[in-house]
Amino acid sequence: MLTLLFLGDVVGEPGRSAVVARLPELKRDWSLDFIIVNGENAAAGRGITPKITIDLLRAGVSVITTGDHIWDRKEIVPFIETEPRLLRPLNYPSGAPGGGTIVLETAKGKVGVINVQARTFMQPILENPFPLLDAAVNELRRETPIIIIDAHGETTSEKIAIGRYLGGRRSAVHETHTHVQTADEQIFEHGTAFICDAGMCGPIHSILGRAIEPVVTRFLSSLPAAFPIAKGETRLRGVVVEIDETSGRALRIARVDEPAPSGAHAPA
């Protein structure tokens, strides 16, 4: 059995500090074989940098997925070509830097990861993810039955449709982007573990990891405002999935909601 941890959107310095601090302990205590983290908000809440990528990988992350903020830091464009474990959504047009899939070897066999972005209410509007997922899954299944998908999207209907798509040809579909952990974790009849949103790793006394007052003011005034990262208690949210390494079928999925160690949530 392969045990996988998937953590939702890492938000700013508090989120990434908590992940770096807790991962070695969680990996040991839960006997984790593979760790995926969505890192597209890890740099001050928007984008990711080469240094943050390296810090997360050194902490034990196997693959970093992203989404609509992948290009917010200009230095990531040349870097992503040199680090295949940092994924961008698969459905960018041909010629975009980086890649949307990877297969990595573990002690319990190969694991394939696919990063895709949904389209409804998302910017930029990318290629239709469904046929691209078909092709990517078929290609990865030549190497491994264990395939994990991070679908980064806004609407629950599109996320569930992606989760239901492809029948039993993937082990798990974990959705990201809204930063709010949903309570619909389940294993579909074909053996696919699913959750509509894994949640976030960041300050919980916040609005999606941002300071509360500026966001509320923006809703009241409709005027532009800066949204600094919130301070205070930080938690790590996501899911743990147990997968049969021979068949690729998920056996168990459980939500994760773990505190940051004391001192890990430094000011933004």
Please identify every residue annotated as catalytic: 69
- Convert 103-132 to b/e letters by CB count within 10 Å (16 or more is b): beeeeebebbbbbbbbbeebeeebbebeeb
Alpha carbon separation from 57 to 20, 50, 83, 261 (Å, rounded) = 9, 11, 10, 19
Q: Which residues pair with 193 in a beta bridge?
A: 172, 187
Contact assessment for residue 45 and residue 237, using Cβ atoms and an 8 Å cutoff:
no
Instruction: Give backbone dihedrals phi and psi of 98, rounded to 5 degrees, phi first.
Output: 75, -170
C-alpha atoms less than 13 angstroms from C-alpha of 101 in its C-beta half-sphere: 21
Rounded CA-CA distance 102/120 in Å is 25
